[in-house]
Structure 1
Amino acid sequence: MGRVWKVLTRPLVIAVLVVVAGVGFGLYWFQPWKLWQDETVEEALPQVVDTSAPPAVEPSRTPTASAGPQTLSSGELISHEHPTSGTVKLVRLADGSHIVRLENLDTSNGPDLRVWLTDAPVKEGTAGWHVFDDGKYVSLGKLKGNKGSQNYVVPGDVDPARFSSVSIWCDRFDVSFGAAELARA
């Protein structure tokens, strides 16, 4: 009886270990608890952004002391993989630096969400889910919260005029949660 018990328990122990490892990996990879967690971030529009690299200043973008933040382009977020809404603005600050501002953002939380400035066209429906990594894009950092209004600094060596859209991008699954086409203000 003891020998039969050993023969039967070995595959059972291995199966249990495989299932536990699989569940652990699945929880790490998909992070399903984020579906029920919302992170709201409410940031004011800054007057000046402190960046480590000075912004590239071109004659047409020379800052003036009296100038405040100026919206250069904007667009409304459309849903892709997850329901997403809000407004995106490309803003030039008084010092000549640029930010991408998300206002009234409302999207699902996800495991590895980023804000991307891209040159891809925004397409409706599933056709737009995977286009943003096909061309040029700049990651402006991790999404600070899936709800609210927040600012993302455009690096000083990036010319924002070369980009036409913004995507809330899930880097883990290579899919857009939502995106906005930027139209001149």
Structure 2
Amino acid sequence: MGRVRKVLSRPLVIGALAVVVAGVSFGLYWFQPWKLWQDETVEEALPGVVETSAPPAAVPSGQPSPATGPQTLASGELISHEHATSGAVKLVRLADGSHVVRLEKLDTSNGPDLRVWLTDAPVKEGKAGWHVFDDGEYVSLGKLKGNKGSQNYALPDDIDPARYTSVSIWCDRFDVSFGAAELARA
């Protein structure tokens, strides 16, 4: 009898170990906890801005200066939601008429599936603001390029930026905002 028990328990132990290994593997894939300790810094210049050491050309008095460079249409400061998040957000119209959302001095946690969303949702502080951004209209501008630094996200040509009032750093995997900014019109 003792021998029969050992033979039956060996497959049970192997099966239990296989279930544990599969569960741990899935958990690591889904949560990607190592990203909490990995920072990705991205420093992009604003498109259409030419850096020069020469002084700007003088505009004759009484004439308005030409608007040839990027124009900030709206801006705001990021507040923290699920993770500590800080930095500035700008909605910018470029000289060619296209628009970008610019994140400046972004500092947030890294995550498994972070996106930049332009939304029509109000920005609420604390836990009340964690899940509101997918309730209304939003446009995903793509994956977050880095959790630190300054970066640009182009708006599709068919999007009217005036319809949107906020920007969220959104975790698609867990449907939660890491941080968001209300856009105040310039």
Return the TM-score normalized by structure 2. 0.89
Q: Percent sequence identity over matched residues?
A: 80
Q: Over residues 132-179 of structure 1, what are the superposed CA-to-partner deviations in whole Å (9 max), with x where a residue is unaligned?
A: 000000000000000000000000000000000000000000000000
User: How far, CA to CA, are the matches of 2:105 and 2:82 in structure 1?
Assistant: 19
- Mind listing any 5+ residue stretches in structure 1 that lack a counterpart? 49-64
Q: State whether structure 2 residue 47 is matched by structure 1 residue 43.
A: no
- Mind listing any 5+ residue stretches in structure 2 that lack a counterpart? 50-65
Task: Specify the alignment match of 1:56 in structure 2.
Answer: none
User: How far, CA to CA, are the matches of 2:132 and 2:80 in structure 1?
Assistant: 14
Q: What displacement does 1:4 show? A: 2.5
Q: Which has the larger radius of gyration?
A: 2
Tell me the number of residue pairs that the alignment of Structure 1 and Structure 2 aligns.
169
The one-letter amino acid paired with 1:137 is Y
Q: What displacement does 1:2 show? A: 4.1
Return the TM-score normalized by structure 1. 0.89
Task: Specify the alignment match of 2:165 in structure 1.
Answer: 164
RMSD (CA atoms): 1.2
Task: Specify the alignment match of 2:58 in structure 1.
Answer: none
Return structure 1 stretches of 4+ with deviation > 4 angstroms. Answer: none
Task: Specify the alignment match of 2:31 in structure 1.
Answer: 30
The one-letter amino acid paired with 1:67 is T
Q: Secondary structure at the match of 1:134?
A: coil
Task: Report which stretch shifted further, 21-30 or 7-16.
Answer: 7-16
The one-letter amino acid paired with 1:136 is E
Change over 3 Å in CA distance of 1:152–1:172 after alignment to 2:
same
User: How far, CA to CA, are the matches of 2:67 and 2:28 in structure 1?
Assistant: 52
